[in-house]
Chains A and B, each alone.
Chain A
Amino acid sequence: MSDPAISLDRARASELGIVARFFKATELDTRLLGMIGALVIIWLAFQFLSGGQFLTPRNLWNLSVQTSSIAVMATGMVLIIVTRNIDLSVGSVLGFVGMIMGVTQAEFLPKLIGFEHPATWIIALGIGILTGALIGGFQGFIIAFLGVPAFIVTLGGLLVWRGAAWWVTSGRTVAPMDSTFRLMGGGPEGAIGATWSWVVGIIACLAIVAMVVNSRRQRKRFNFPRRPVWAEVFMSAVGCGLVLGAVALANAYYWPIGIVRKYAEASGITIPDGGLFISHGIALPVLIAVATGIIMTFVTTRTRFGRYVFAMGGNPEAADLAGINTRWVTMKIFIIMGILCAIAGAISTARLNAATNAQGTLDELLTIAAAVIGGTSLAGGVGTIAGAMIGALLMQSLSSGMVLLGLDTPLQNIVVGLVLVVAVWLDTIYRRRTA
């Protein structure tokens, strides 16, 4: 190792203390770690206050399902806020697209292909995603090419799409949804069961190890400084441990007795004396949210588009001068946001088993709050997908925990509002320290 770059990097590392050296070696994001710490504290506090009802497989499983819809939208909101824009219309777009999907599968398609056709869910979802992309593209076009500020365009969108959602059926609620479509909302049917959950968990672990090995090989190719082996092993072990722990937790939540009894009758099984335990496994909406998070992380960190998004957020003029078509990138971001609203709309419509014109009301604020708590800077240029998703989980943990404690809704709103402000204040202090 005669490469001067490596020896210099090593020399610098040895100047640091043991804790700092640990963080440098593992390249852990201390900010993300702080958020996870906050999440753990909130969870433990609720566990204590609720007398042990919070940290149960059942509550955590439900928490994960409730978080999915906001988490999906928060991944797109990161890109929007990173480029110094804002989207206030996501809740209304979710409501409108949900309504379109509801009408498609409950009123339009049955006339054409009959009730409960196997293709109903995919057609409805496809139409929803197309509608979302068109709405996003339309708003993005006005913002990027006509130069109207995103705040105004999406504030208009907030009113327009909420009104449009009402218009589709003149305010009537559409129900029920197609039974296959409904799987996207979770519940005993909408979860993949114990075996498949383990399969997913093991694939995820293999992927983590493969990624660590690959990145090490890449850096070796050019003889760059590499993380120490112990750090790589430690990180892989923690990653795999978390994944397998989550799978075990999801599998520890069993179907309710009533549903088991119905299921046993339907499939002709006699329930043994000790009771029949059927695991939920990972819920489909959670799987959708996690997959969205992985895809969006890939898009932001590994593709040209993602690089441009962050470059534009840091210095729009420089990005323009570097020859980046900033307008088109902006429009693409809003198209992605529209698609994510459609996916979130599918999850919440399926979960409710109905499309209502009030669906997603105030979701824009929860989404923005999740992204901001997750470390997305409103000044632009900074933010991570994982952070925003943890932000969504944190927000949902708060409201779900307060429901568990039986707090009144006004008080819940006050707490959530205060937490948002305090979280951003702490983040400002953190950034000032580390800058």
Chain B
Amino acid sequence: MTSTQAPLVDMENISIAFGGIRAVDGASVNLYPGEVVALLGHNGAGKSTLIKILSGAYKRDSGTIKVNGEEAAISNPRDAKSHGIETIYQTLALADNVDTAANLYLGRELMTPWGTLDDVAMEHSAREVMGRLNPRFQRFKDPVKALSGGQRQSVAIARAILFNARILIMDEPTAALGPQETAQVGELIKQLKSEGIGIFLISHDIHDVFHLADRVAVMKNGQVVGTAKVGDVTEDEVLGMIILGKCPPGAIPGPGAVN
């Protein structure tokens, strides 16, 4: 995580407005390989919007996105995926009425040599991935609509892992999970980190993510209050950044900081 290395993702001066409201206003964040950056802020602080710009769900009004030091044109989810950016949405964007395997491979189905869907092969790797993530998961034939919240979350996470993402965005990854599943997600994040994957964690609750992250970036009213290494600030100081927009000495202040 040296500054000489090119960042995996570098978002500079990103702005987007919805009908006069500047949801994101000149925000800059970056992410290095093997690093976990927690993006924190209140509901409506603009963190989800900022990250949806990276994942291609929204189109930015201004600003640049660089992936591996090169400018990336991201205007839809397909562009983002072609840059190795995978997103797990808070709303669990799953296709409700198809089964687990179909969801895991949605958009990148395995095909037989005859150009037809290879459902058995997909079910096979679905069983393998889900076995690693959630060994008690058995309902491979049911539409995901019939699954519980935790099971759906595991499907969403499995989906991202399956595609060897280099940049993973997790929007409130543990909000719908029980303690055991939350611990599993924590393990998973450590494992992905060791493989050199960069991860953005988005949360409004710092307790969820503080121990998982290497750095935190705090947003308020669409602007970045500041960024800090987790070792340089305390949880209370970060809380102060979230609530008051006050930047502590250990952090690098952004445009949204009050003095």
Residues of A within 8 A of B (CB): 5, 8-9, 12, 218-219, 221-222, 224, 298, 301-304, 306-307, 310-315, 317-325, 381-382, 435
B17 interfacial by beta-carbon distance below 8 Å: no
Residues of B within 8 A of A (CB): 55, 57, 76-78, 81, 87, 89, 91, 93-98, 102-103, 106-109, 111, 115-117, 120-121, 123-124, 127, 138, 143, 145-146
A322 touches B95 (CB 8 A): yes
A222 touches B121 (CB 8 A): yes
Give the A-B contact count at a CB cut-off of 8 A.
87
Which of A304, A322, A325 counts the most B-chain CB atoms under 10 A from its CB? Answer: A322
Which residues of chain A are near B106, meaning CB under 8 Å?
A: 307, 311, 318-319, 322, 324
The residue from B96, B108, B115 contacting A314, defined by CB atoms under 8 A apart? B96
The residue from B87, B96, B117, B143 contacting A307, defined by CB atoms under 8 A apart? B117
Rounded to whole angstroms, the CA-CA distance of A325 and B94 in the bound complex is 16
Which residues of chain A are near B109, meaning CB under 8 Å?
A: 304, 307
Instruction: Please name 6 pairs of A and B residues whose Cβ atoms are closer than 8 Å in the assembled complex, sorted by A.
Output: A12-B138, A222-B124, A303-B115, A314-B143, A315-B97, A381-B97
Q: State how many angstroms separate the Cβ of B164 from the closest Cβ of chain A.
A: 15
Which residues of chain A are near B102, meaning CB under 8 Å?
A: 307, 311
B121 touches A314 (CB 8 A): no
B123 touches A310 (CB 8 A): no
Rounded to whole angstroms, the CA-CA distance of A382 and B145 in the bound complex is 12
A319 touches B95 (CB 8 A): yes
B117 touches A302 (CB 8 A): yes
The residue from A221, A322, A381 contacting B77, defined by CB atoms under 8 A apart? A322
Rounded to whole angstroms, the CA-CA distance of A310 and B119 in the bound complex is 15
Q: State how many angstroms separate the Cβ of A162 from the closest Cβ of chain B.
A: 35
B93 touches A9 (CB 8 A): no
Which residues of chain B are near A312, meaning CB under 8 Å?
A: 95
A315 touches B116 (CB 8 A): no
The residue from B57, B91, B97, B120 contacting A313, defined by CB atoms under 8 A apart? B97
B120 touches A318 (CB 8 A): no
The residue from A12, A219, A382 contacting B120, defined by CB atoms under 8 A apart? A219
B77 touches A323 (CB 8 A): yes
Q: State how many angstroms separate the Cβ of A305 from the closest Cβ of chain B.
A: 10
Given the contacts A307-B102, A381-B97, A321 and B120 also touching, CB distance less than 8 Å: no
A323 touches B117 (CB 8 A): no
B111 touches A304 (CB 8 A): yes
B98 touches A224 (CB 8 A): no
Rounded to whole angstroms, the CA-CA distance of A12 and B140 in the bound complex is 14
B57 touches A321 (CB 8 A): yes
Rounded to whole angstroms, the CA-CA distance of A318 and B98 in the bound complex is 12
Which residues of chain B are near A319, meaning CB under 8 Å?
A: 95, 106
